[in-house]
Amino acid sequence: MDIYNTNTLIDEQTGNLAFKLSEFESSCQFCDTHRLNYYSLIWIKKGRGTAQVDFSEYTFTPNTLIAVTPYQPFAFTEEEPLEGVVLNFHPDFFCIHKHHEQVACNGVLFNNIYSPPMLCVTDDMCQSFELVLEQMYAEVQKSELAQYELLVSYLKIFLITASRAKAKQQPEALEGTPEEKEPFILQKLKNLIETHYKTMHSAGEYADLLNISPKALAKMTKNHFNKTMTNLISERIIIEAKRELYLTNKTVKEIAYDLGYDDEHYFSRFFKNNADISPKTYRETVGFARAAMA
């Protein structure tokens, strides 16, 4: 699809990538682990393989859309040559947290620790996506009045379309919508993690609340979520920490305390071990200093 090639907008104030639309084919572009400071929507149109995202591995086939958040580690292993399109946008360009009510992709398309970070792109969606991407491409080339507003409008259409599709394909991606095949105890676990993740950080504490052995709980979470209990708890804490670093001017010490960590340095090590970047660097490249303008 030669029409897209690579089209990038740079934030003149920061020098950071603001928006990028590009195509890829058979270049092993994603073979190495990536940790990017912007959102990535990767539409794999041809080819198949496996995606390593955070702590889990997922199989993908042609016409799969993969959604990745800033600094979320990901890498692909190709079984067949890949072709597709990548849409990148920085939180400065469009903040999914601040515009959640308008787009509702946070917790569905992005930042859902219980469902795969991908969805199937149907034939109808293909037509919609192609149309929106072509409009984005044309607008990037113009540099005319209200370019940002129009590009954000197209981005919202893309995000809403993808979020609706994922909610239909994976009902468990919607908060409060139980999956019929999911045991009740895991539905209860989700609620407990959401209620207590700021104060309870160990798998054993949740096992006690559920009146189940840690070993049995670990087996269930691995089978249903493809993650360990430690992974689930850590990912939920990191999502909230990133949100606080981006949207507020709280110090790292204050954020650590709010999340149940009395030792700021221990929290910073925990954050870096899970996000592969320090809270300070995350804030400097994604955070509060520019959030008000997003």
Beta-carbon neighbour count of residue 120 at 10 Å?
Answer: 15
Domains and CATH numbers, the chain: 8-173 (2.60.120.280), 184-292 (1.10.10.60)
Q: Are 67 and 110 in contact (CB under 8 A)?
A: yes
Whole-angstrom Cα distance, residue 30 to residue 99? 29
Strands 56-60 and 17-25: unpaired
**Has residue 9 got a pLDDT over 80?**
yes
| Helical ranges in the chain per DSSP H | 100-103, 123-142, 147-169, 184-196, 203-210, 214-225, 229-247, 252-258, 264-275, 279-286, 288-291
Give the pLDDT confidence of 249-260 residue by residue, as tens digits. Answer: 999 999 999 999
Whole-angstrom Cα distance, residue 172 to residue 181? 10
**CA-closest candidate to residue 67, choices 45, 51, 83, 47:** 51
Instruction: Report the pLDDT value the prediction gives residue 73, as an integer from 0 to 100.
Output: 87
* Higher per-residue confidence, 26 vs 161: 161
Query: What are the Cα distances from residue 294, in Å, to 62, 161, 232?
Result: 34, 22, 29
Instruction: Report the pLDDT value the prediction gives residue 121, as an integer from 0 to 100.
Output: 96
Is the entire prediction scored with pTM above 0.75? yes
Task: Retrieve residue 162's tokens.
Answer: 């993808």
Mean pLDDT of 30-52: 92
Mean pLDDT of 156-184: 75
Whole-angstrom Cα distance, residue 176 to residue 179? 10
Whole-angstrom Cα distance, residue 103 to residue 274? 27
Instruction: Report the pLDDT value the prediction gives residue 172, as an integer from 0 to 100.
Output: 61
**CA-closest candidate to residue 199, choices 265, 264, 114, 258:** 258
Q: In the chain, what percentage of residues exceed pLDDT 90?
A: 60
pLDDT band of residue 6 (cuts 50, 70, 90) is low
Instruction: Report the pLDDT value the prediction gives residue 180, as an integer from 0 to 100.
Output: 46
Give the pLDDT confidence of 205-264 residue by residue, as tens digits. Answer: 999 999 999 999 999 999 988 899 999 999 999 999 999 998 889 999 999 999 999 999
pLDDT band of residue 198 (cuts 50, 70, 90) is very high
Instruction: Report the pLDDT value the prediction gives residue 254, as an integer from 0 to 100.
Output: 97
Beta-carbon neighbour count of residue 17 at 10 Å?
Answer: 18
Give the pLDDT confidence of 53-97 residue by residue, as tens digits. Answer: 987 899 999 999 999 999 888 999 999 999 999 999 998 899 887
**Has residue 284 got a pLDDT over 90?**
no
Give the pLDDT confidence of 94-127 residue by residue, as tens digits. Answer: 988 777 777 777 778 998 888 899 999 999 999 9
Mean pLDDT of 120-137: 94
Average pLDDT score, the chain: 87
Q: Are 35 and 53 in contact (CB under 8 A)?
A: no
Q: Are 74 and 53 in contact (CB under 8 A)?
A: yes
pLDDT band of residue 177 (cuts 50, 70, 90) is very low
Residue-wise over 47-68: b if at least 16 C-beta within 10 A, else e? bebebebbbbebebeebbbbbb
Task: Retrieve residue 291's tokens.
Answer: 């959030």
**Has residue 265 got a pLDDT over 70?**
yes
Reduced DSSP (H G I as helix, E B as strand, rest coil) percent helix, strand, coil of the chain, to 5: 45, 20, 35
